[in-house]
Amino acid sequence: MSRVLDASPAIRQDARPVRIGAKSAAALVIATIFGIGAFGWPLLISPDSGIAHGLDAPLIFGAMLLLIVAVVLAMLADGGMDAKAVAMLGVLSAIGAALRPLGAGTAGVEPLFFILILGGRAFGPGFGFVQGATTLFASALLTGGVGPWLPFQMLGAAWIGLGAGLLPPVRGRREVALLCAYSAVACVLYGFAMNLSLWPFGLGPTTSVSFIPGDAVVDNLTRFAAFSVATSLGWDLGRAITVTILVALTAAPVLRALRRAGRRAAFDPVVTFLPNRHRW
């Protein structure tokens, strides 16, 4: 007596133009830890420290942050980015940079983030990190937005792309719903992070929502939350609503197109389960 064991139909995994190895993963972790420190260092530093005085500290941390991001990008590129991956990255970064001026200055409408999220989702966390950083850099050059805030924007966008690539592997309507929820949360958190990078130096010490060096972290965070609600929450919600609607409307066709392009480009070997022909 004999029988045939047939496997399920072919199953394909998403292409990974930027593969994350052990060194790249370590660099990403270090960059994330340093980035959190660069955003939040005023909350922890002693007011007697020399770096707590003057306006040169944000410039120092911005320059160091830009260097860290550059090192991570170099390590990710060293992990196997070929010409096809660079071309895909260039296309998506150019689209994102071109989208940014469409909503600049209009109630938080920033459509570039939806292409960051879909690119990271389709091609993985490594690609999402690189795409986020290069898109914000290219858009800053295009719009004249180069300044000490740029490294913080680059890292924030890189985190958004990275997070999209790390979401659970679901498909169909569940994937669209997951991406919509992620878009809303990520866009609001991005706004809070950008506020945190500027808030300690943007107000005088006399307002009720000003940063007070050396004060308890909880008290400073309470004032920061009040500052964010009063000054930028409307903008952040506008960004979140716009990006979430764009993701809801375009996620399914755009992800299909990106994944099809990734399979045709053959960035990495495609896992395929073939029928088992053994008999006994």
Range name among 2-6, 181-185, 188-192, 244-248 with the lowest pLDDT average:
2-6
C-alpha 280: how far from chain center: 52
- Separation of alpha carbons 190 and 200, rounded Å: 17
DSSP code at position 11: -
Instruction: Name the band, by pLDDT with cuts 50, 70 and 90, for residue 61.
Output: low
In the chain, domain spans: 22-265
What pLDDT is attached to residue 100?
A: 82
Task: Please name the residue that has the structure tokens 């958004």.
Answer: 160
- Separation of alpha carbons 155 and 128, rounded Å: 11
User: Is residue 120 within 8 Å of 165, Cβ to Cβ?
Assistant: yes
User: Is residue 112 within 8 Å of 183, Cβ to Cβ?
Assistant: no
What pLDDT is attached to residue 184?
A: 95
Instruction: Give the mean pLDDT of the chain.
Output: 79
Residue 59, beta-bridge partner list? none
- Separation of alpha carbons 92 and 255, rounded Å: 13
pLDDT tens digits along 192-240: 998 888 887 777 677 888 888 778 888 888 999 999 998 888 889 989 9
Q: How many residues does the chain have?
A: 280
DSSP 214-252: TS-HHHHHHHHHHHHHHHTHHHHHHHHHHHHHHHHHHHH
Instruction: Name the band, by pLDDT with cuts 50, 70 and 90, for residue 243.
Output: very high
Rg (CA), the chain: 22
* pLDDT over 90, % of the chain: 25
Instruction: Name the band, by pLDDT with cuts 50, 70 and 90, for residue 7.
Output: very low
Q: Which residue has the higher pLDDT, 234 or 1?
A: 234
- Separation of alpha carbons 132 and 160, rounded Å: 7
Q: Which two tokens stand for residue 203?
A: 């107000």
What is the arithmetic mean of pLDDT over 165-170? 92
| Topology of the domain covering 22-265 | Arp2/3 complex 21 kDa subunit ARPC3 (1.10.1760)
What pLDDT is attached to residue 199?
A: 82
- Separation of alpha carbons 261 and 76, rounded Å: 21
Range name among 164-168, 228-232, 262-266 with the lowest pLDDT average:
262-266
Which of 110-114, 185-189, 226-230 is the most confident on average?
185-189
The CA angle 91-95-97, to the nearest 5 degrees, is 115
pLDDT tens digits along 265-279: 766 544 455 555 554
Q: Which residue has the higher pLDDT, 132 or 43?
A: 132
User: Is residue 99 within 8 Å of 32, Cβ to Cβ?
Assistant: no
What pLDDT is attached to residue 105?
A: 54
User: Is residue 250 within 8 Å of 114, Cβ to Cβ?
Assistant: yes
Asked if residue 165 has pLDDT above 70, the reply is yes
Nearest to 225 by CA among 202, 201, 191: 191
Q: How many CB atoms lie within 10 A of CB 56?
A: 9
